[in-house]
Structure 1
Amino acid sequence: MENSNENSKGLTATALIAMIFTTVFGFSNVPTGYLMMGYAAIPWYIFAAIVFFVPYAMMVCEYGMAFRSEKGGIFTWMSKSVNTKYGFMGMFMWYTAFIIYFVNVSTAFFIKISAFIFGSDTTSAWRLFGMGSNQTIGLMAIVLIVLIAFIASKGIKNVSLLAKIGSGAILLVEVTVIVGAMVVLIGNHGQFAETISAGAFVKSPNSHYTSIFGTLSFAVMAISAYGGIEATGGLVDKAENSKKVPKALMGATIAITASYAVLIFCLGMFLNWNSNLAVEGVNLANVQYIVISTLGSQLGNLFGGAAAAPIVADWFTRFYGLACACMTLGSITVFYYGPLTQLIEGTPKEIWPEWLVKKDEKTGIPVNAMWVQTAIIAVFLLFISFGGTSADAFWNIIMLMTATAMTIPYIFVAGAFPFFKKNNEIEKPVVFFKSRNSANFWTVIVCCSISFSNVFTLLSPAFNGDITSAIMQVAGPVLFAFMGLLLYMRYSKMKKEAGK
């Protein structure tokens, strides 16, 4: 067990910040926000940080530090604060949503690789062994997932290394955009491409987001841009110096919020909303590449004239594709390791077969469980890739079912916080919320913001006449909760029989 401890410990404060930043911050949220709201996205990102991200991060930090000597992450937090059943239900719903995340991100990864190699998305033309593009990408995604599983199975240090690479790539993109935008601004004699005014920070230039309904839909998107911090908060026990964890967590929180605001502001230095984005072919899927390409084009034109503009734009797109691929590798490895280890290490061992929870002697990682996770993802990928139109329809249903289920556990975690604060038997070395009233107040704020997002997400398709999508989004959390309940009932039955 000495080896296990040595291999499982070792997260420096820098590594923890890198893991938090890589798993939470999404650069794509910057151009997406600008396309939807222009400068008006900035106050909404700040508002989302105030009502959700910052208080939720504080709760995660208090939990993580209080239970730093125990394994199990969010399950331990919830079960010790409320009860085992509550903790398991929240934990199981949180984990199942990540399976769908892995399927999505593993296939989208190759769009980024294509952008790096070819300067654009050419995946629809990729062919291997006479197969179509869907089958080719599906098989490549399986290879990627197996590779990620192999790296993650070797220990937390490998995970933190990829997280550092991912956060480094994010930082490089941020610096490139900020410096590039300022150079363009100077080259244009201080003239912003998108005019700054008080109204620009309130009203969206996008006609789809000027109504109350449209603005609220962006508020939902802004809140969702901050999800995922609990995946790394559960790794506090892996930190070399637990006293530095609060500073690392809050430092990352401030950096992420500031990054969204500063980067959106910088886009206005070189992007005119009407000229560059309000044109045919620009959409939420490709806007991030258009933004980077436009920056490259303007820098090229500034220093090399019209002939250099498309060349520099192409290289900027390739650079961004490589950086995005590194970001993806960093975040998927953290998520591949974190939720699974919390599920296996925290929940009652009697729920799972003995061989599944067995840990590697050197790394302390439940390797068998990790490969089972890999097999499940591979089956999904094979079915979607080779299943034809019926599989596509099935996958669309799964995606809808997962959309809401991904955020429900946030309510579980936040909802347990008042019970955590009330329990005087739990040692609390870090306290952000000094009184129970403040803890209760911010619990209500966080839970209401998430609930509002979910309700609006459910009502949005219904208002547009798509009742099926609304029903499927409700069915997801219900189904996952039912599956978790069956597992827990089986565990309770076994426990009673053992007691007899």
Structure 2
Amino acid sequence: MDNSQKKIKWYMLSFMCFSTLWGFGNVVNGYMYFNGLQVIFSWVWMFALYFVPYALMVGELGSAFKDLGGGVTSWVQETTGPKVAYYAGWTYWACHVTYIASKGSGGLKALSWMVFQDAETYDTFPTLYVQLATLAVFLFFCWVASRGLNPLKKLATLAGSSMFVMSILYILLMFAAPVINPNGGFAQLDFSNWLPTFDVSYFTNLSILVFAVGGIEKISPYVNKMDGNPAKQFPKSMIFAAVMVIVCAIFGTIAMGMMFDPAVVFESAESQTAYIANGAYWAFEKLGEYYGVGNLLMIIYAACNAIGQFSTLVVSIDAPLRMLLDDPNTRQYVPKQLLKQNDVGAYINGIWMVIILSGSIILAQTFVPGAASVLAQLNKLNSVCMPLRYVWVFFAYIMLRKASGKFAREYKFVKNNGVALFFGFFCLILTLFCCITGMYSPDPFTIVLNVVTPVVLTALGLILPAIRKAQDAKEA
């Protein structure tokens, strides 16, 4: 086969990046957390000052370490050393503890919309029963992962693709709806108040946007597989992907504005919580009404979401754990008990650690009043914890540029080392700032959960190497 056929065109990489990065949930969260149409301003500056530099930095890291398959952990290992690489690997795994806790709740919510076709039924269930059901689902999928049975892995890709299609379909159908059904009762768009109020709420919600645009490091292996000169093709690809995402963010927000009056959404804290938990389903429910197909579009969306939530749950239990414990650079700092594998090769004690940590978050939320509040709380907790793994991307980039002459690469974000380091530090500091400010909440329980969870996970990551060191010393 001709090698040129294996090369990736710049526009193909753009679409790969776009489809893995963007989803309808990002549009809903942006609209619900940032006062409706005012989020457009925030989307624009977030993409211009954060996402584009972030993507181009990832491209340079991927180009410098093209033969390494460990991603961020490998980058930190090469630029710093194995001990710091362990902390990077631990952070990547620990971030998934909160993510895992949220997937069961999200899946049950989607199933509820499919069956009952309303928000009220699920939200009126006692929180204790909902969380016990969530725990049961979580334990079942932990058992699936422990037996090496991952039948939903392929479904995860399928569900992710279908959710991407649904988000694009939503925008297209919503803009066509006023032409097809002019008397649909659409909300009036008001662009006069487009500038957000830069208050406490604004800055404490920025972690939602950082969470939405993160994760671009997944495309780093493809930098050196591009057709043509990566120095020219990769930035063109990433900028085009950023343009596609910002267009979807803006038009998706406008489509939401045609459906939901901000005055109603933000009437009270309770109504905002309800929209955060149910807004995506209400959007497709209304879309079905405009086109006279009832709840069909909402049921399709709920089905895609349910499959996506549960399949992601299995993958998130198994894959990050294997990345941490399979890597020889990180496993040397992990207590030997966690390296134990069962007869099918699953890290059984590692899965028990997941059960204890994620299960604790699920059980802690039995004290939260209302199932909708649980979903909103988990959404915010993920926005605090998940972006912490992006910090290691920027750290690796800073260390790469500090030792710039040591690592050969075909592609560089910028030639000037000072400019490169400025963006590296800017993105790292902004990520930390958003994660720390995102911990704040008017609700005391939420702020305790947002603070205690990352602190406990960080402390555990610091303790484990000490335990392993004692074990090695005892054996010696």
Task: Tell me which interval the TM-score lies in, with the shorter structure as reference length.
Answer: 0.7 to 0.9
Tell me, yes or no, if structure 1 residue 319 matches structure 2 residue 300: yes
- 1:299 aligned residue (291, 311, 317): 291
Tell me, yes or no, if structure 1 residue 286 matches structure 2 residue 278: yes
- The within-5 A match list for 1:318-357 is 318-329=299-310, 331-332=312-313, 335-336=316-317, 338-346=319-327, 347-352=329-334
The equivalent of 2:169 in structure 1 is: 176
The equivalent of 1:441 in structure 2 is: 422
The equivalent of 1:258 in structure 2 is: 247
Tell me, yes or no, if structure 1 residue 417 matches structure 2 residue 397: yes
- The within-5 A match list for 1:457-468 is 457-458=438-439, 460-461=440-441, 464=442, 466=444
Taking structure 2 as the reference length, the TM-score comes to 0.76
Q: Distance in 1 between matches of 2:142 and 2:360?
A: 15
Q: For residue 446 of structure 1, report the CA deviation from its aligned partner.
A: 0.6
1:292-341 per-residue CA deviation (whole Å, 9 max, x = no partner) reads 222222232xxxxxxxxxxx342232122112224435654664555334
Q: Which moved more, 1:439-448 or 1:140-149?
A: 140-149
- 1:110 aligned residue (101, 108, 111): 108
- 2:204 aligned residue (188, 192, 217): 217
Partner AA of 1:47 in structure 2: W
Partner AA of 1:242 in structure 2: K
Matched-pair contact (CA < 8 Å) for 2:391–2:431:
yes
Q: For residue 132 of structure 1, report the CA deviation from its aligned partner.
A: 4.9
Q: For residue 264 of structure 1, report the CA deviation from its aligned partner.
A: 0.9
Q: For residue 162 of structure 1, report the CA deviation from its aligned partner.
A: 3.5
Q: Identity percentage over the alignment?
A: 18
Equivalent residues, number = 450
Tell me, yes or no, if structure 1 residue 229 matches structure 2 residue 216: yes
Q: Distance in 2 between matches of 1:93 and 1:374?
A: 16
Partner AA of 2:325 in structure 1: I
- 1:84 aligned residue (82, 85, 102): 82
Q: Distance in 2 between matches of 1:193 and 1:92?
A: 48
- The within-5 A match list for 1:143-154 is 143-147=140-144
Tell me the C-alpha RMSD between the 2 structures: 4.5
Task: In structure 2, list runs of 5 or more residues that go unmatched.
Answer: 1-5
Q: Which moved more, 1:240-249 or 1:431-440?
A: 240-249
Shift in CA distance, 22/112, structure 1 to aligned 2, threshold 3 Å = farther
Q: Distance in 2 between matches of 1:249 and 1:38?
A: 27
Shift in CA distance, 299/69, structure 1 to aligned 2, threshold 3 Å = same
Partner SS for 2:29: helix
Q: Distance in 2 between matches of 1:12 and 1:63?
A: 18
Matched-pair contact (CA < 8 Å) for 2:317–2:354:
no
Tell me, yes or no, if structure 1 residue 202 matches structure 2 residue 195: yes
Partner AA of 2:158 in structure 1: I
Tell me, yes or no, if structure 1 residue 428 matches structure 2 residue 396: no
Shift in CA distance, 150/221, structure 1 to aligned 2, threshold 3 Å = same
1:71-91 per-residue CA deviation (whole Å, 9 max, x = no partner) reads 322111112212333222232
Shift in CA distance, 95/286, structure 1 to aligned 2, threshold 3 Å = same
The equivalent of 1:31 in structure 2 is: 28
Partner SS for 1:120: coil
Q: For residue 414 of structure 1, report the CA deviation from its aligned partner.
A: 0.8
The equivalent of 2:138 in structure 1 is: 141
Q: Distance in 2 between matches of 1:18 and 1:374?
A: 34
Matched-pair contact (CA < 8 Å) for 1:72–1:341:
no
Q: Distance in 1 between matches of 2:111 and 2:96?
A: 22
Partner AA of 1:227 in structure 2: G
Q: Distance in 1 between matches of 2:261 and 2:211?
A: 26
The equivalent of 2:3 in structure 1 is: none
Q: Which moved more, 1:266-275 or 1:434-443?
A: 266-275
The equivalent of 1:64 in structure 2 is: 62
Matched-pair contact (CA < 8 Å) for 1:42–1:264:
yes
Q: For residue 177 of structure 1, report the CA deviation from its aligned partner.
A: 1.3
Q: Distance in 2 between matches of 1:73 and 1:211?
A: 36
Q: Distance in 2 between matches of 1:64 and 1:470?
A: 37
Matched-pair contact (CA < 8 Å) for 1:30–1:260:
yes
Taking structure 1 as the reference length, the TM-score comes to 0.73
1:478-497 per-residue CA deviation (whole Å, 9 max, x = no partner) reads 43333222333455667889
Partner AA of 1:175 in structure 2: I
